[in-house]
A and B are shown apart, each in its own frame.
Chain A
Amino acid sequence: MATRGSAEQFKQSFREEAREVLVDLEAALLELNENRADEELVGRVFRALHTIKGSGAMFGFEDLAAFTHNLETAFDEVRNGRLEIGSELIDLTLTALDHIRDLLEEREGAAEASARAEILGKVRKLAGIAESAPAAGKVASVQPGPGGVPIRQWAIHFAPGPDLLLNGANPLLLLAELRQLGGLSVRASMEMVPPLGELDPERCYVSWEMVLASPADRDAVHDVFIFVEDSCELAIDLAAAAEGETGATDEAGSRRLEEPRATGGGRRAYDKPDTASSLRVPAAKLDQFVDLVGELVTVQARLAELAARRDDPDVAAVSEEIERLTSALRETSMNIRMLPIRATFEKFRRLVHDLARDLVKDVELTMEGADTELDKTVIEQLGDPLMHLIRNSMDHGIEPRKLRLARGKRATAKIHLSARHSGASVLIAVSDDGGGIDAEAVRRRAVDKGLVAADARLTETQTFALIFQPGFSTAQQITDVSGRGVGMDVVRQRVEALRGTIDVASQPELGTSVTLRLPLTLAIIDGLLVSVGEACFVLPLASTLECIELSSEDIEQANGKHVANVRGEIVPYIRLREHFGVAGPRPELEQIMVVESGQGRFGFAVDQVLGNCQTVIKSLGRVYRHVQAVSGATILGDGRVALILDPERLVQDAIQAAGHGPRGHPGAASSRAPGGARAGVH
């Protein structure tokens, strides 16, 4: 039945919005832990719980609503000054939040139900809530709010969208929710109900005019409607304020949350042209859209190839127009996939809070650049590496409190998460003000494990790169947090899978900073198509600076060394023909593509530069997963396959081949570090 499908869709929409409310709730709880006297934060926590409870009941999540009810009551007690915020309440609520997430996803089990009952028991005991306290539908007595906030009269106009009932929502439960905020008088308006013969029995035609007497502020009233506001007409006006609040009346009264109410017989807001600034789209649909754009880009390349061969100006004109549109479509679709990294960063507040408690360390988490946008696939893959880096910092980087004080440091340590764009890459850094990496300990451990020879001379970069080797750990003890030598290896694997690199900077007793350099997107890039013999390669355009010619004379002048003189600057280059073992003679005049890498300027010598191309990145599959210098492949207009090169990796491979890097792992050189040492790594 269509109704059931719509209801499930609406439930899913509730889930998505509720997840966002839960993220905010978690952040507010953690902030509250730091600033326990902040009434604004208490209000934020209360409203989030209230919203989850009320809307949960409305969309059929009765267990979730019932479970959240007691938590909401506890924070109501805090608001009213009858309960003090303490670690126990915050930790209980954080644990409860995990259960709320399970209930939201309808992951249910007997153990969870029993654990929830235990949490509720503790919350009730803490807040002095009677077991029989009603879960919903209680009409709140209208009393002044916390701190003697006066009662206000809110005039509310609520006209649900026509499909609200069809979507499984029950607007009558919203009225019950409002009633919990204070005294409510309600008048239903039937003006829009059509004659029986024309009435669609599943549509909603009723609207309501209400007056709410409550100490609640506008946000609290608005939150009752948060899950339906996109599909309804809603106006919340301050009808009357208590004495001493007249100044606020004009300002508040003039603020309308939605369109002005419709006059009799007029169209409602949802019938008017849609001016919504955003909409929710399932991620799978977005992936499908980008895949199709990718296919279009490939077909467009074939068309361009065909047009070039036909020598027909009309076909050429159409081909150019299609190329222009495809390029614009590609850019737009890529932008749609970009998301701010904030949500990923925010979830680590909880991790830091929990670990700090377990490790008995005071740690403050700070963030910078949380609005930096990345491709959603990159963001999805970033969670694990960042988690391992933070765990490692918390466990090994940050010293015990006593040692910090002895070193003249603040007792409260700091972990700083930052993100910023750098060309076609984004830099994500996890920094701490801990003890730094003990380079000598890393080296000794590497020798013990046979990773490097006892007499090997390692640069600092190479030494720090060792911590990302599988099973590598300098930790004296395996703890619950780290020490098994697994985490940093996971970081390396994930970052490599994303075509990224890792930089490590560390100063003894000052701290460590691990920076992940990741590509902005993993789907389609602008590339520069080059040829070497019969083979074609693509270099990412964003990393390419310029193209210069390399003649036989230039080669002679360099005495056989792979260096080119670029306007007085000596630039080393890698000849792709040699690197990939391409057969055939070298042309008289080669081309050098100069790129900016993390190691400075480097060149790649190729036979010919064929031109720009929009490049749909295709995975090479598992067989090629150990090939480091190639980040994928693309299909050219004539059907041939071109490998997409990773300039950063090629450069690092070349440096490693020329130097004395750690044995056995090609990715090890991807880590470099300008600074000193840290006490231990897992």
Chain B
Amino acid sequence: MAIARDASESANVVVLEGTVDISSAAELKTALLEALDSGREVRIAVDKASYLDLTAVQLLWAAEQQARRTGVAFRISGQIPDLVSTALAEAGFPSFPASVNAG
């Protein structure tokens, strides 16, 4: 697992790689809060993620809600790997996060 932040001029990108689960949940929360605090667009790069567990889903969902409330643009960038999207759909998150399709 790896969570990296890439702050370009226009956006803060949080990059998720490999397995993102409870062992990295605290780290992901910090990365999301810092990205949202910048006030710039937040992008979550998931194309290198192989697995997202429930802690990651909850954090991304809460981040998206906060972005909406504070008027910060929030989107998922890159293609969600099939394995991840299938798992999310089977777990009852068919279009998660909502912004994935707006991206």
Residues of chain A touching chain B, judged by Cβ–Cβ distance below 8 Å, are 3, 165-166, 170-172, 175-176, 179, 186-188, 190, 193-197, 199, 201-202, 204-206, 208, 210
Contact B25 A201 (CB under 8 A): yes
- Among B23, B55, B65, B87, max chain A CB count under 10 A is at B55
How many residue pairs link A and B with beta carbons under 8 A? The number is 72
B92 adjacent to A187 (CB under 8 Å): yes
The 5 lowest CB-CB distance pairs between A and B, nearest first, are: A188-B92, A201-B25, A186-B92, A196-B62, A201-B29
**B58 touching A186 by the CB < 8 A rule?**
no
Residue from A190, A201, A202 whose CB has the most chain B CB atoms within 10 Å: A201
Of the listed residues A186, A187, A193, A199, the one surrounded by the most CB atoms of chain B closer than 10 A to its CB is: A199
CB contact between A194 and one of B32, B53, B62 (< 8 Å): that residue: B62
Select B66's contact among A165, A171, A195, beta carbons within 8 Å.
Answer: A195
Q: How far is the CB of B62 from chain A (nearest CB, A)?
A: 4
CA distance A190 to B91 in the complex (A): 12
Task: Assess whether B53 is in contact with A170, with CB atoms less than 8 Å apart.
Answer: yes
Complex contacts, A170 vs chain B, CB 8 Å: 53-54
> In the complex the two chains form, what is the Cα distance from A193 to B93 in whole Å?
14
Cβ–Cβ contact B54 & A199, under 8 A: no
Determine if B59 is an interface residue (Cβ-Cβ < 8 Å). yes
Chain A contacts of B90 at CB under 8 A?
172, 175-176, 179, 186
Chain B contacts to A: CB under 8 angstroms = 22-23, 25-26, 28-29, 32-33, 36, 53-55, 57-59, 61-63, 65-66, 87, 90-93
Q: Which of A166, A172, A175 lies in contact with B22, CB distance below 8 A?
A: A166
Whether the pair B59, A196 counts as a contact (CB closer than 8 A) is yes
Alpha-carbon distance between A172 and B91 when the two chains are bound, in angstroms: 6
The docked-state distance in angstroms from the alpha carbon of A97 to that of B60 is 43
Q: CA of A79 to CA of B92 in the docked complex: distance in angstroms?
A: 31
Contacts of B22 in A (CB 8 A): 3, 165-166, 201-202
* A196 vs B64: C-alpha distance when bound (angstroms): 9
A193 to B65, CA, bound (A): 10
Query: B57, A196: Cβ atoms under 8 Å?
Result: no
CA of A410 to CA of B25, assembled, Å? 68
| Contact, CB under 8 Å: A206 / B54 | yes
Measured CB to CB, the nearest residue on chain A to B26 is: A201
Report how far A356 CA is from B59 CA in the complex, Å: 60
Tell me, in angstroms, the Cα distance from A620 to B82 when the chains sit together. Answer: 69
Name which residue of chain B comes closest to A196, CB basis. Answer: B62
The complex places the Cα of A372 from the Cα of B38 at a distance, in Å, of 68
- A170, A188, A194, A205: most-surrounded residue (chain B CB, <10 A): A188
> How far is it, in angstroms, between the C-alpha of A179 and the C-alpha of B91 when the chains are bound?
11
Q: Tell which of A175, A197, A206 has the most Cβ of chain B within 10 Å.
A: A206
CB within 8 Å for A196 and B91 given contacts A3-B22, A202-B55: no
User: B55 and A197: CB pair below 8 A?
Assistant: no
Beta-carbon contact of A197 and B33 below 8 Å: yes
Given contacts A165-B53, A201-B58, 11 further A-B contacts (CB under 8 A): A165-B54, A166-B22, A172-B90, A186-B91, A190-B58, A195-B66, A196-B33, A199-B29, A199-B62, A205-B58, A206-B54
CB contacts (< 8 Å) of A171 on chain B: these are 54
- A199–B90 Cα gap in the complex (Å)? 24
| Docked CA distance A33–B54 (Å) | 44
Collect the chain A residues with CB atoms within 8 Å of residue B32's CB: 196
Contact call A193/B61, Cβ cutoff below 8 A: yes
Cα of A205 to Cα of B29 in the assembled complex, Å: 15
Query: A163 CB to closest chain B CB, in angstroms?
Result: 11
Asked if A193 meets B62 with Cβ closer than 8 Å, knowing A3-B23, A165-B22, A166-B22, the reply is: yes
Q: How far is the CB of B45 from chain A (nearest CB, A)?
A: 19
Instruction: For residue A219, give the distance in angstroms from its CB to the closest CB of chain B.
Output: 24
Whether A208 touches B92, Cβ cut-off 8 Å, given contacts A165-B22, A170-B53, A201-B59, is yes
27 A-B pairs within 8 Å (CB atoms) are namely A3-B23, A165-B55, A166-B22, A170-B54, A171-B54, A172-B53, A172-B91, A188-B91, A190-B61, A196-B29, A196-B32, A196-B36, A196-B59, A196-B63, A196-B66, A199-B29, A199-B58, A199-B59, A201-B22, A201-B26, A201-B28, A201-B29, A201-B55, A202-B25, A206-B54, A206-B57, A206-B58
A186 to B57, CA, bound (A): 16
Bound together, the chains give a CA A172 to CA B61 distance in angstroms of 17
Which residues from A are CB-within-8-Å of B55?
A: 165, 201-202
CB distance from B58 to the nearest CB of A (A): 5
CB distance from B82 to the nearest CB of A (A): 15
Distance of B2 from chain A, by nearest CB (Å): 17
Residues of B within 8 A of A206 (CB): 54, 57-58
Rounded to whole angstroms, the CA-CA distance of A188 and B58 in the bound complex is: 11
CB neighbours (8 Å) of B92 from chain A are 175, 186-188, 208, 210
Q: List residues of chain A with CB within 8 A of the CB of B57.
A: 206
Q: Which residues of A contact B23 (CB under 8 A)?
A: 3
B74–chain A nearest beta-carbon distance, Å: 11
Known: A195-B62, A201-B55. A172 touches B33 (CB 8 A): no
Which residues from A are CB-within-8-Å of B59? 196, 199, 201
A202 partner residues in chain B, CB cutoff 8 A? 22, 25-26, 55
Q: State the Cβ distance, B57 to closest chain A Cβ, in Å.
A: 7
What chain B residues lie within 8 Å of A166 (beta carbons)?
Answer: 22
Closest Cβ neighbor of A160 among chain B residues: B54
CA distance A75 to B37 in the complex (A): 57
Q: How far is the CA of A206 from the CA of B92 in the complex (A)?
A: 10
Q: Is the CB of B66 within 8 A of A188?
A: no
Of chain A, the residue at the smallest CB distance from B36 is A196
Give every chain A residue within 8 A of B36 (Cβ-Cβ): 196
Q: Is the CB of B54 within 8 A of A204?
A: yes
**Residue of B29, B55, B58, B61 ringed by the most chain A CB atoms within 10 A:** B58
